[in-house]
Amino acid sequence: MDFQKLAEAVVEGNVKKVKGLTEKLLSEGIRPDIILNEGLLKGMQKVSDRYKEKDFYIPEVLLSSRAMQAGFHIIKPLIEDNSTSALPHKVVIGTVAGDLHDIGKNLVSLMLKSRGFHVIDLGIDVPPEDFVEAVKKHQPDILAMSSLLTTTLAIIPETIRLLKKEKYRDKVKIMVGGAPVTKDYARAVGSDGYAHDAINAVVVALDLVKS
Ligand code: B1M
């Protein structure tokens, strides 16, 4: 099974193999979003599990991330080209201040683009002031914040407070996610939506722009 081989190549951190298998699957007519979910993401999930079990350490994780990104870069333009851009909706997205994790945020961004959202990505380590400035400047339908560290979770309510202070809270829907974020936390801090993964993020975003 090539999906399994691709996931294994991500786990091995084998850039060459990941590129080769991604291209092979594409040449067989497999849809890029399926390659992403069934191969690259499955591999990254295994890496996360092995890291949790202390079977993998940061250097291995970084090698796997690099291999995953190599496949991701091949399919990214295809997913973006396929996007209908039929939705007039805008999303400003970023990883909160103090947090440098961007693999999950990039996937959420890509999946949103693939469904036609116009995504403005502020990158990593984004302070509340920059989120608020971006909301003022781009007037998005959704502000999407990703946090992977419990130590940076508080940036989410801080940003919401600043939006309120600047009288912009009711002009934008807020969606949050990332490993330590839960539905209860999302509700407690006053966000409008929570998604546990990139696929679900699209469902939640579509729901938010409807309401
Ligand atoms: Co770090 N790290 N890391 N790390 N890292 C975690 C997050 C950790 C859980 C590992 C652990 O200890 N078990 C832990 C956080 C503990 C905590 O606070 N609860 C941790 C730590 C502690 C750290 C450092 C502090 C380590 C250190 O230096 N001592 C340090 C912090 C640096 C910083 O940010 N200031 C650090 C550094 C790093 C690397 C740089 C080495 C690397 C990041 C590389 C990069 O992102 N460019 C890294 C990695 C890779 C991980 C793990 C192993 C994997 C994260 C990942 O990319 N997963 C992670 C362990 C784990 O999660 N089990 C860990 C794959 C990705 C597809 O999943 O990011 O969860 P994820 O995204 C998902 C969903 O969460 C969701 O959709 C995504 C796709 O399905 N989602 C959203 C994410 N954002 C969303 C936003 C949404 C909706 C859904 O709406 C807005």
Between the alpha carbon of residue 122 and those of residues 66, 143, 146, the distances in Å are 21, 11, 11
Tell me, yes or no, whether 12 and 102 share the same domain: no
Say what the pLDDT of residue 171 is.
97
Q: Is the CB of 65 under 6 A from ligand 1?
A: yes
CB count, 10 Å around CB of 179?
14
Q: Of 48, 81, 114, which residue constitutes the final position of a domain?
A: 81
Tell me, yes or no, whether 100 and 18 share the same domain: no
Q: Is the CB of 13 under 6 A from ligand 1?
A: no
Say what the pLDDT of residue 44 is.
85
Share of the chain above pLDDT 70, in %: 96
Tell me, yes or no, whether 50 and 97 share the same domain: no
Between the alpha carbon of residue 176 and those of residues 36, 65, 96, 100, the distances in Å are 22, 23, 10, 16
Number of domains in the chain: 2
**What does the mean pLDDT of the chain come to?**
91
Report which ligand 1 atom has the smallest distance to the Cα of 99.
Answer: 34
Residue 82 confidence class, pLDDT cut points 50, 70, 90: low
Q: Is the CB of 103 under 6 A from ligand 1?
A: yes
CATH of the domain at 197: 3.40.50.280
Between the alpha carbon of residue 59 and those of residues 12, 45, 66, 101, the distances in Å are 12, 16, 11, 15
Say what the pLDDT of residue 190 is.
97
Residue 94 in contact with residue 126, Cβ under 8 Å? yes
Q: Of 81, 106, 133, which residue constitutes the final position of a domain?
A: 81
Per-residue pLDDT tens over the stretch 150-171: 999 999 999 999 999 999 999 9
Per-residue pLDDT tens over the stretch 19-63: 999 999 999 999 988 898 889 988 988 888 888 888 888 888 889
Which of 118, 96, 126, 93 has the alpha carbon at shortest distance from 107? 93
Mutate to test the pocket of ligand 1, among 95, 101, 119 (most ligand atoms within 8 A of CB): 101
Angle ∠(131,137,143) on CA atoms, nearest 5: 40
Residues 6 or more apart whose Cβ sits within 8 Å of residue 169:
160, 163
Tell me, yes or no, whether 137 and 94 share the same domain: yes
Tell me, yes or no, whether 98 and 133 share the same domain: yes
Q: What is the largest CA-CA distance in the chain?
A: 54
Q: Is the CB of 126 under 6 A from ligand 1?
A: no
Q: How many residues does the chain have?
A: 211
CA distance 3 to 32: 12
* DSSP SS3 for 193: strand
Quick one: DSSP state of residue 39? I
Q: Can you give the pTM of this predicted structure?
A: 0.84
CATH of the domain at 76: 1.10.1240.10
pLDDT at 208 over 70: yes
Tokens of 15: 């850039």
**Could you tell me the residue range of the domain that residue 176 belongs to?**
90-210
Atom 46 (ligand 1): residue with closest C-alpha?
A: 101
